[in-house]
Structure 1
Amino acid sequence: MSTVLFDPAHGSDRSADLLARVQQAIAERTPLFIRGGASKTFYGRPVDAQPLDLAGHTGIVSYDPTELVITARAGTPLRELQAALERGGQMLACEVPCFGDNATVGGILAAGLSGPRRPWAGSVRDFVLGTRMISGLGTHLRFGGEVMKNVAGYDLSRLLAGSLGCLGVITEASFKVLPKYRCRVSLRQAMPLQMALDKLGEWGQQPIPLTAASHDGSTLYLRLEGNEGSVRAAAERLGGDALDDSYWDDLREQRLAFFDDPRPLWRLSVPALTAPLAIEGEQLVDWGGAQRWLKSSADADSIRQLAAAANGHATCFTPGVVDSPFQPLAAPILRFHQTLKRNLDPQGIFNPGRQYADV
């Protein structure tokens, strides 16, 4: 495999300008709305603040396929990072959704969303190794590193995954990457959901190279990835009809016909083998059962109570339906969030209220 290295000066380094903007905002107590490619502004509560645009802070700082690590500035388009990985024969295995062409490296980390491969490969949080961040104290900090080893101390880099910019301005991130699979086969089998969940539970105890599984109410969709011998053998054993691999891209990017339903879209995170959920609306199962997409006109309390009864939680993906799209936090966890916010952003200037009104 050839080495692909980047000059740290590649792209546009606006970190000094960003730091100056943050320091000014702290001095003036001016709230900031941190924005990359604006591909995920629908996710979270609306923020009434001055925009801090990271889209111009771009460039892949370093990438050496032999080290399985890539480092890029936060405003770098995700498509640029993925193109570099493609040339190196590698991938960001958590399969992050883009929701358009403008997704950025900082945005995928701040949103913390992962695609169909997540239960088998890991989440965004599992792949971030290190970050640089401007804190609410007006300092430019570095956390973690660029090597795949345990780092002593508080792992703030992983804490930033899914924080929606409420803890600081991510300016740079390093990710662990993996070689692309040599072989991929996608299959579909007609069967009811409970039978599909039973089979997935059985297959999960066996050495089957499964990397995606979803169900639309009548059909189970499977993806097998790995070396050619094991994938072909598993496909022959499981059976089913051939499925175009583009299905998984359309599922990840919410382009399937299911997502065209005008009713609000909810994501329910529950234990994988949870029985089919009884609620009004249409459901699309992902993550082998652990993620249930729901199109429903049911009220938010009913949906959240259903998720909680299944030892899970619910998130609304349709803006304006509820005041906060995220499941309300228990009092002790809310206090932890508030304490963490006060320590990293004492003036409360970063994306105030983006996750919860009280954070």
Structure 2
Amino acid sequence: MPISPTNDTPTALIDRVRSAAESRTPLHIRGGDTKAFYGEPVGGQPLDMRDWRGIVAHEPSELVITVRAGTPLAEVEAALAEKGQHLPFDPPHFGDSATIGGVVAAGLAGPARATAGGVRDYVLGAQFINGKGEWLTFGGQVMKNVAGYDVSRALAGSMGTLGVITHLSLKVLPVAPAEATLVFQLGQHGALEQLHRWGGQPLPLNASCWVKDTTSPDAPELLFVRLRGAVAAVESACDRMAREAGGQRMDNAQAGPDWAACRDQTLPFFAPPSADHGLWRLSLPQTAPVIDLPHAQLIEWQGAQRWLWAPASAAAQIRAAAATVQGHATLFRASADSAPGVRRFDAESPALQTITRRLREAFDPHGIFNPGRMG
């Protein structure tokens, strides 16, 4: 619903949107531009959100933080860390200038996604400006406060196509008392089988990453598993899993930066093998088997997210392989010249197209926000 002006009203942003709506001028909403590569290219006049920043409220005892959308992600994480809290979905940074609004708009989560949940699971409420220049509020600061459509969570992953997010209230959680990382020398098939077996047991699994170092033909295939939880639970799980699959425990001082590198795609695997290759993301059921594709892969989320580098000519093969196991494939990163004519996202089903179209017509009737970003 529309909200009345306050001392925290984004007047300049509202005026900018109203002017753009009247002139039918497209706007390119942007924060730190760390995820500018994601999605289809966008034109329009830049609408920079970085000046609209600041932590509005943080209630550690209530496990909620409310922030302006242009607030740097690093600033939010630092404030939470001071109180022993964090964003459990492990948001990627992809650069020092990442903003919390960009985190929610992109809807991307890091290695802990499979067990901790995704971005939308932690959005309690939001305020945003729609395509008519109206400042709206949805949700609130508690979990059970929604009647009707939960629009605040629909903003997660909307890529700025529904409105200009101004404020976000996010659920946070305490940092786990204990953390450990185990590494196992397992092939892809064995790693997936082991992950599926562990996933059905009461173990404090938090993240997983299977990878083979493509820079050396003799490099081993390795499965990394991160555990988080109570001290006793983590220690017991470490002993049991190491015995079952021959794993070794890593030093946390070494494992921590490695998980951050996995989250932010700075591991050696994520370096482009050649200029004509793009990075593909396969989103699959966790229990999907090994996908028979002639490209090296990195596998996260207990099998649900799989990365690979491939040329544009392999697009049809990759998408068909994902579809055979009820998944889909996204061309996540690609230069303008490496994938001409290849759409970034899979085509939506007719039912989902209808829902998406109606949402956009309701919130952005003139189509001014990030037009074409989602294809």
Q: Give TM class, smaller chain.
A: over 0.9
User: What do the CA deviations read for 1:304-327 (whole angstroms, capped 9, x no partner)?
Assistant: 111111100111112332543111
Structure-2 residue corresponding to 1:220? 223
User: How do residues 18-167 of structure 1 correspond to structure 2 at under 5 angstroms?
Assistant: 18-167=13-162
CA RMSD for the aligned pairs? Answer: 1.4
The residue identity in structure 2 corresponding to 1:328 is A
Match of 2:357 among 320, 330, 338: 338
Q: Which runs of 5+ in 1 are unaligned?
A: 1-7
2:279 aligned with 1:265, yes or no? yes
> What is the CA–CA distance in structure 1 between the aligned matches of 2:9 and 2:30, rounded to whole Å?
14
| Contact persistence 1:45–1:323 (CA under 8 A) | no
Cα separation, 1, equivalents of 2:41 and 2:230: 45
Shift of 1:150: 4.2
Q: Output the amino acid matched with 1:344.
A: F
In 2: Cα distance, 1:106 partner to 1:145 partner: 16
Q: Please give the per-residue CA displacement for 1:171-226, whole angstroms capped at 9, x wherever unaligned.
A: 11010000001111001010111111111111112111110112114111111111
Aligned twin of 2:344: 325
Divergent runs of 4+, >4 A: none
Q: Is residue 2:237 matched to residue 1:234?
A: yes
Q: Which of 278, 284, 299 is 2:314 aligned to?
A: 299
- SS in structure 1 opposite 2:326? coil
**2-side partners of 1:324 and 1:292: how far apart?**
19
- Does the 8 Å CA contact 2:238/2:249 hold for their aligned counterparts? no
* Number of equivalenced pairs: 346
Distance 2:160 2:342 in 1: 19
Tell me the equivalent position of 2:327. 312
SS of residue paired to 1:216: strand
Among all aligned residue pairs of Structure 1 and Structure 2, give the percentage whose two residues are the same amino acid: 47
Per the normalisation by structure 1, the TM-score is 0.94
Residue 171 (structure 1) aligns with: 166
Q: Name the SS for the 1:72 alignment partner.
A: strand
CA distance in structure 1 between the aligned counterparts of 2:272 and 2:294, rounded to whole angstroms:
13
Residue range with higher mean Cα deviation, 138-147 or 192-201: 192-201
- 1:324, 1:355 within 8 Å by CA — same for their partners in 2? no
Structure 2 gaps, min length 5: 1-5, 213-220
Name the structure 1 match of 2:215.
none
SS at match of 1:299: helix
The reply on whether 1:250 has 2:261 as its aligned counterpart is: yes
Shift of 1:342: 1.0
Provide Cα deviations, 1:125-165, integer angstroms capped at 9, x if missing partner: 00000000100121000000011224112100110000000
1:280 deviation in Å? 1.9
Alpha-carbon distance change, 339 to 148 in structure 1, aligned in 2, over 3 angstroms: closer
Name the amino acid aligned to 2:289: A
Structure 2 CA distance, aligned partners of 1:116 and 1:150? 29
Q: Equivalent residue for 1:287? A: 301
Q: CA deviation at 1:14?
A: 6.9
Instruction: Quote the offset at 1:352 in angstroms.
Output: 0.5
| d(CA) in 1 for partners of 2:171, 2:117 | 11
Match for residue 373 of structure 2 among 351, 354, 359: 354
Answering whether residue 194 of structure 2 is matched by residue 199 of structure 1, we say yes
Q: Deviations over 1:236-276 (max 9, x none)?
A: 11112223222211111001110113331000000112111
Q: CA deviation at 1:110?
A: 0.2
2:217 matched residue in structure 1: none
The 8 Å contact of residues 14 and 57 in structure 1, kept in 2 or not, is answered as no
CA distance, structure 2, for counterparts of residue 169 and residue 80 of structure 1? 21
Q: Distance in 1 between matches of 2:116 and 2:25?
A: 40
CA distance in 2: counterparts of 1:167 and 1:323, whole angstroms: 24
Q: Tell me the distance in 1 between the aligned counterparts of 2:288 and 2:200.
A: 17
Distance in structure 2 (CA, Å) of the matches to 1:75 and 1:215: 34
SS in 2 for 1:273: coil
Q: TM-score under structure 2 normalisation? A: 0.90
Distance in 2 between residues matched to 1:224 and 1:323, nearest whole Å:
38
* DSSP-derived class of the 1:317 partner: strand
CA distance in 2, matches of 1:225, 1:246: 16
* Counterpart Cα distance in 2 of 1:187 and 1:180: 19
Q: What is the DSSP-based 3-state SS (H/G/I as helix, E as strand, rest coil) of the residue aligned with 1:245?
A: helix
Q: Quick one: which amino acid aligns to residue 302 of structure 1?
A: Q
